[in-house]
Amino acid sequence: MHSKKLFGIRGVVFLTLLFGLSVCDEDVCNRRPLGTKTDPLPPDNQFLIEINGLIENLYIPKKEYIVRLRSRDAKSTFIAFTIALKEDTLPNRNNPRKPIHLNAGRLTLMPNSTTTRYKQHCDDTVVELDITPKTFVEALWTAPDKDNKCVTVFAVVAVQPDVWYNYEGPLSKWICEDRRKADDIQPLENDNCQACEDARYQLTFEGTWSYNTHPSLFPKSRELARFSDVVGASHSKDFSLYKYTSEASLGLKLLAEQGNSTKLEIEIQKQLGTSVRTVIKASAPYNTSMSTVTNFRATREHHLISLATALLPSPDWFLGVANLELCSIKTNQWTENITFNLYPMDAGTDKGLTFEAPNEEMSPPQPISPAKFIKEIPKELMKPFARLRLKLVRTYSTTNCSMEIEEPVTSEGDNDADAGNDKDREHNYITDPPVTTPPTTTTSEEPPSVDPASPDDCPLSTWEEWFPCQGVCNDGKIKGIQIRLRYRMVDGVAVGKYFGEEQKESQTPEECLDKYSLSDTRECEETCDNESEAVDEDNVWDDTTSELDEQAVK
């Protein structure tokens, strides 16, 4: 009687429909735990259901998610349960009493599960294998295709044969389709990468943050706006730079609050050679609407990348990506090109709500989440603060490859030399374990020669050609900077300041590295075509009206 008062008539009717109280017909799905006929208790927050990998309760179509039913204190136990799905509906114009049912995806058992089984006569329903006490169970949910709106993932839990909790509150998750643009969605993670070759990627971090594009999301002191160095790694699934809804590490805290990347680099380097293949670092772009470029290596085991850069000034905001997949889930081979938009995240370590807010430590720290100021602008109108572009440059044969050595993956104008001639920028460096396999590529490019003017104890290559002028195109002209590079020469081989294809920094005196710069910068001015610049003109705020251009809305 007490339970019926809590739920009301509507609640009892819904439970009747949902769990199939008529158990006389064996073909009716009965989702009550252990087939009990007693009324459920209301949830008491002792147990909850979680879905790993969701961001803001949005699912990516066709992606797999782990559904976990657990006790909050990891001590309380349950003997039986039901985990199931409920699809969304659309109005039926022909028959309003019978709405059109959409697809809720597919619920399956975890591989090698010893605690779960499918429920007879019930679609997409997982129940207990036995009634031994347990503190958690897991199932695998494959999200439906596009345009299936929202899905409810729910559970019921029995702590005794006739004592059970219904699906409401913490035992139910209502999640909806992620409707973001394609470049806002990460590639699906691939647990079956079959690329036998190692890969080298070029990573371009392209800043798209300026007062013109983000007038309400820019520091009042415009000249202070900048990105920190970009720091990250190519890694396996055993490494995590950060996780959404988890607390930031000390290294990420220092990066987000101060722009100091040293501690975060040390955290990554501790995993170098095991779960980390390459420590990636790219210097901060000259300004927030320019780019910086670096290269890194990936392997079949280390086919994910994660990285972060601070938004400065800010309380603890940063841009980043966690577990970006390089191995295509469609082909199980290396993806040739990836573009991914970056939006501000909150490290959860400072209370500030504005760019220039004074330091005020958050105690206790909060989980990483989208930056709070994003709520001021509708999600569909939010513009990325930066864009990652990844290009597969070449592959390297390994002992795992049974096929013939393949030609390199290159693009027009790519003159990558042999392994001893890879050139990693002085200010954009990578740190790799020693390379044990030879590259598969040769090139007719002349290797860099030693500059006769360089000292005998610090031989350097001649300067390369200037890079293209980098800057914002205004009125048909770019006013910006150009960079040119040179390299250390060790045994006739050009290597980067920090790392080349062979680790040789120990052969070069430290005073040599401090005394002679490997990069040169100058101001430049060139003609340009406004339509071809990196700034997306369709997504530029009107500087005179501070409103979106009508074309961008369309």
Cβ pair 483, 524 in contact under 8 A: no
d(CA 362, CA 364): 6
* Average pLDDT for the chain: 79
Structure token digits, residue 137:
């169970």
The three-state secondary structure class of 8 is helix
Q: How sure is the predictor about 507, in pLDDT bands with cuts at 50, 70 and 90?
A: very low
pLDDT score at 35: 87
Q: Count CB-CB contacts under 10 A for residue 19.
A: 23
pLDDT greater than 70 at residue 21: no
* Burial letters 234-246, b for 16+ CB under 10 A, else e: bbbeebebbeeee
Mean pLDDT calculated for residue range 150-168: 93
Does position 504 have pLDDT exceeding 90, yes or no? no
Tell me the two tokens of residue 18.
């949902």
Residue 151: pLDDT band (50, 70, 90) is: very high
What is the pTM assigned to this prediction?
A: 0.53
User: 281: which strand partners?
Assistant: 231
> Is the alpha carbon torsion for 183, 186, 188, 189 positive or negative?
positive
Per DSSP, which regions of 53-105 are E strands?
Answer: 58-59, 64-71, 80-87, 89-90, 100-101
Helix (H) or strand (E) holding 254: helix 250-258
* Range with the poorest average pLDDT among 67-71, 244-248, 335-339, 475-479: 475-479
Q: Is 208's pLDDT higher than 50? A: yes
- Apex 365 CA angle, 362 and 368, nearest 5: 115
Give the pair of three-digit tokens for residue 528.
Answer: 């340009």
Q: Give pLDDT, residue 513.
A: 53
pLDDT at position 146 is 87
> Distance between CA atoms of 234 and 268, rounded to whole angstroms?
10
90 - beta bridge partners? 100
CA distances from 84 to 32, 106, 143, 382 (A): 11, 10, 13, 35
Question: How sure is the predictor about 494, in pLDDT bands with cuts at 50, 70 and 90?
Answer: low
> What pLDDT sits at residue 420?
37
Q: Give the percent of the chain with pLDDT over 70.
A: 75
Cα separation, 89 vs 99, in Å, equals 6
The region of weakest confidence among 15-29, 279-293, 416-430 is 416-430
- The mean pLDDT of 391-402, rounded to a whole number, is 85
444-450 own/partner pairs: CB under 8 Å, 24+ apart = 445/415, 445/417, 445/421, 447/417, 447/421, 447/492, 447/493, 447/494, 448/421, 448/423, 448/486, 448/487, 448/489, 448/494, 450/489, 450/492
- Tens of pLDDT, residues 50-71: 998 787 788 988 889 999 999 9
- What is the tens place of the pLDDT at every residue in 214-269? 988 999 999 999 999 999 999 999 999 999 889 999 999 999 999 999 999 999 99
pLDDT of residue 83: 96
Question: Is residue 204 scored above 50 in pLDDT?
Answer: yes
